Homo-oligomer: A and B are copies of this chain.
């Protein structure tokens, strides 16, 4: 699925995943190109889907939403039905910001963001524990954020 992508496109992507509020001229400056071709490339990258969306990252602490819990879940019933029910519910719940199926002993890994531990507790009770087929839930609470970035490690693409 990996389309070929030029090193100049990579430079553009690296800049934009750090700051997408740059003007075309600023971006062009930083990568050593002039505005028009730079802008054209950005457009192409968007149309081809390399750039998925542009979002504002908010300050979780200032907004009082800085409790992060990693939660692993096992389902006892592995029928297609209960899996899809679970996944659909997960997609609907805004507190679940990430969810993956996993190798190994757990079925799902969830990243959950809430206002405080009590709210998390409530979330587990009213949602997770209610889901059919849930066997085990392990909650791992984060204390301090050392690093948190949405930037993909594109540097390692070039090797």
Residue in chain B with minimal CB distance to A149:
B97
Report Cα–Cα, A13/B100, bound state, in Å: 26
Report Cα–Cα, A79/B140, bound state, in Å: 23
Interface size range of chain A in the complex? 35 or more
A148: chain B residues at CB < 8 Å are 97-99
- CB A20 to nearest CB in B, in angstroms, measures 4
- The prevalent SS among residues of A at the interface is mixed
Contact between chains at A55 and B1 (CB < 8 Å): no
User: Does A32 have its Cβ within 8 Å of any Cβ on chain B?
Assistant: no
Contact between chains at B96 and A147 (CB < 8 Å): yes
Across the interface, A62 reaches (CB within 8 A) one of B3, B91, B96, namely B3
List 10 A-B pairs, Cβ < 8 Å: A2-B62, A2-B64, A19-B55, A49-B59, A51-B56, A55-B55, A91-B146, A94-B154, A100-B143, A101-B144
Report which A residues bind B (CB closer than 8 A). Answer: 1-3, 5, 13, 16-21, 48-65, 68, 70, 87, 90-91, 94-104, 106, 108-109, 113-115, 119, 140-157
